[in-house]
Structure 1
């Protein structure tokens, strides 16, 4: 069993962008979403996220609406194009090196992100990270995404619940590890940052940078945001 557990937030932490917001912008670009109306709503939800007041249910319904009735082949094509045009160019050598360093050390590694699994599963693959704890999407009897959330969203306190459930499914718990590190840029992640033994404020927003300075947490700057 690995002695160390390493958890990464994704948006703003490993990526110098917000993948969900960027995917919405990409859908506008390819004509799947109405440009001005979608952009206004997308920006408003993103501002709510930064302010810590995001309505996750409303946001997931909004974010999945432009694509959830599309066919499997269409979605696979757009996902590949999004990875090629947006996600892969956003990969930063310092972030890739950080992940590799923990991989080489034999850590158990996971991405823990509020962004939904449809957007983030392929991006986790770009980092070579197998374990993804993301907001899961509800599906109907035919397997179609409904616009609702399945289970607990991986957001704020929900990240703790989801990490604990994931570890339990592996037959483990947080206390089994000598060290548990969590990298994040956002005050939305304070619950999980406070829950682990080694919080690292990574590319932190000003509010998190101030908290890290007050509490003596290490601060890591992988890239300029």
Structure 2
């Protein structure tokens, strides 16, 4: 039985392109290929599958299960050590977004990290970030990593994030959220949400206050209509540059970030809600 959060501010953060300016799955693949070059052989499976998925021939759900095949055969303790090193040294962050997260922590809010990425590296990352609740995709445990992962939980994307959050909330809020199924508007009181993705609209719409990070034109239009804050914690990157960078990361050809994990002091920052 999970302990529900107390009635205090709840602040939800997406990860990829919200706290981090990259896709962490591709960053992790790049890290593994740079550390263990022989694992690039698995690209002979992943690359064709990616192309077939783009063409609609292979399902997205199957590709998500296949993507981490480059870890096949690695033992649990090996994976844990690799994931911990990856988290500590090789993930870049938007400094301004980390400031907002730390301000939430300093103000006593319940910080929720909500991502579709796997628990393998998300759980250690959540510990470093100081997240109170971690919502991610859990794989079925195995002594050695399989070719195809099996999910212990629902793939934590879109509305699945809110279904995963529900058991952590006070019973009063859980019952009130049934109003959504009745077609009545509802938001979680004293809550804020941050995301870059239209897939996270269920999370953004359920928050009392919301902010979008480097949004697409469609999400930006929704944000303007809803009165959400639009955040740009770094110069705007072109879609073409982002795709090229992602391709290089997926092939293990991108330079490794190598910086010790740290969260800047936020003692002088304004109150969290002034950021919204």
TM-score computed with the length of structure 2 as normaliser = 0.67
Contact 1:182 1:198 in 2 (8 A): yes
For residues 44 and 179 of structure 1, what CA distance do their matches in structure 2 show? 43
CA 1:2 to 1:155, structure 2 compared with 1: closer, same or farther past 3 Å?
same
Unaligned runs of 5+ in 2: 1-5, 177-186, 238-276
Q: Identify the match of residue 67 of structure 1 among 67, 71, 81.
A: 71
- Once the two structures are TM-superposed, the CA of residue 71 in structure 1 deviates from its matched residue by 1.4
Pairwise CA RMSD: 3.1
Q: Tell me what 1:196 maps to.
A: 207
* 2:154 equivalent to 1:152: yes
Contact 1:138 1:150 in 2 (8 A): yes
Number of aligned positions between the proteins: 215
For residues 61 and 97 of structure 1, what CA distance do their matches in structure 2 show? 34
TM-score computed with the length of structure 1 as normaliser = 0.80
The correspondence of residues 28-177 of structure 1 with structure 2, limited to 5 A, is 28-29=33-34, 30-31=36-37, 32-34=39-41, 37=44, 40=47, 57-87=61-91, 90-139=92-141, 147-167=149-169, 173=173
Q: Name whichever of 119-128 and 100-109 sits farther off.
A: 119-128
From the CA coordinates, give the structure whose radius of gyration is larger: 2
CA 1:143 to 1:136, structure 2 compared with 1: closer, same or farther past 3 Å?
same
Deviations 1:145-200 (A, max 9, x none): 660112322111111111112336xx673669641111000011112111222121
Q: Name whichever of 34-43 and 105-114 sits farther off.
A: 34-43
